[in-house]
Amino acid sequence: MEHQSQKAILVVSFGTSYEASRKATIEIIEQDIADAFPDYRIYHAWTSKFIISVLKKRDGISIPTVCEAIEQMIHDGIRILIVQPTHILDGIENNVMKETVLSYKDFFDQIVFGAPLLAASDDETHAIAAVTSEFKNLKATDALVLMGHGTTHQINTAYSELNRHFKSLGHSNVFIGTVEADPTIQDLVQEVTEFHPTAIYLTPFMIVAGDHAHHDMAGDSPDSWVGQFHAAGFEVCPVIKGLGEYAGIRAIFIEHIKKAISMLH
């Protein structure tokens, strides 16, 4: 039997029930990581038990929880563990995940965590470059509106900081709001109206283009972001594309894993 590596990378995602988006985002991120780190065994886990159960029931696909993935790794003889979340921020979801992983620390020689997408100012700069190069054909008079998730955690201020960062790099036509916190869609409609755009492009600032992108952002309801901008008199073009589809975003996760590996002793 060939010798299997005792080093592993666990890629942790929230998950999505949208098959096309899963394949285009989470699975491509995992593939990029596998390609970049051939000496490591790659495992994956999702944090949303609800989405895991939907996939199991609807598609017969079993995605492990963090606990299940770790128990599998212990069984497989993994001793050195790198955990890389595909979360955007180090918020509630990420903190719970880290606590769960650390409850198994006695089973490993070392555990190190890669940072979520936006952990430092450099990450923001790279994320901004990835998004703006994706929309490089945007006219200066068009507005690009990004839909973030938002969180009750204090780290939610990262969205406003990112908004400022876009502007400071000369992208005065890019605006960010959140579904579940501040800035709200009402704040955005006001801010974008003052910009007087000729057209508005809406796209999720989330790893996958899932429920929020399809319903809260691009849905038919008057409450959706498309609906609210229409009501304010704008022409709106929704772009249903998760951040995981952008090569520049996936590259940030690769860098975070490299940094995590450098912390091994």
Catalytic residues: 149
Alpha-carbon distance 222 to 104, whole Å? 47
Alpha-carbon distance 247 to 32, whole Å? 9
In angstroms, the Cα distances linking 227 to 150, 181, 185, 257 are 20, 19, 11, 40
Q: Is 10 helix (H, G, I), strand (E, B) or coil?
A: strand
Alpha-carbon distance 163 to 171, whole Å? 9
Alpha-carbon distance 37 to 20, whole Å? 25
Residues 6+ apart with CB under 8 A from 35: none
Alpha-carbon distance 121 to 165, whole Å? 9
